[in-house]
């Protein structure tokens, strides 16, 4: 299995909703990442987990809450989002934090209404 699987593929949520994005990999990778990509822009790093511990938080607002329950799973909990948070959320994994190669999922397209 050489994939990173993200669910759901599409999500529409209201500003008062709570939702979660899920990312799963079974490649034995020990680093996992969340990126946010606005339309016609490059992906921007949000969070990095290494060995299930939060390693990097790129000053992301607290309405985004990451969680890494185990080495194969990465969640992004969403609460009280704004319309400007609408974007493609990409998950990635790598063998370790030392950049051996990043595998990206196909993303979750989030629309906040």
Which tokens go with 85?
């948070």
Radius of gyration of the chain (CA): 13
Q: How far is the CB of 55 from another protein (least distance, A)?
A: 6
Report the SS3 class of residue 86.
coil
Closer to another protein at the Cβ: 66 or 107? 107
Exactly one of 45, 60, 73, 80 binds another protein (CB under 8 A); that residue is: 45
> Of 61, 94, 93, which Cα lies nearest the Cα of 77?
61
Residues at the site binding another protein, with contacts judged by CB under 8 A: 31, 33, 35, 41-45, 48, 50, 55-56, 58, 88, 90, 92, 97-99, 101-107, 109
């Amino acid at each position: 299995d050489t994939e990173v699987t993200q669910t759901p593929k599409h999500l529409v949520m209201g500003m008062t909703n709570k939702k979660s994005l899920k990312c799963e990999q079974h490649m034995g990778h020990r680093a996992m990442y969340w990126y946010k990509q606005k339309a016609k822009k490059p992906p921007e790093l949000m969070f990095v987990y290494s060995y299930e511990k939060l390693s990097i938080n790129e000053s992301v607002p607290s309405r985004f809450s990451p969680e890494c329950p185990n080495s194969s799973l990465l969640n992004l909990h969403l609460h009280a989002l704004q319309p400007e948070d609408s974007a493609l959320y990409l998950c990635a994994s790598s063998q370790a934090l030392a950049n051996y190669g990043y595998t990206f999922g196909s993303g979750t397209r989030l629309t906040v209404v």
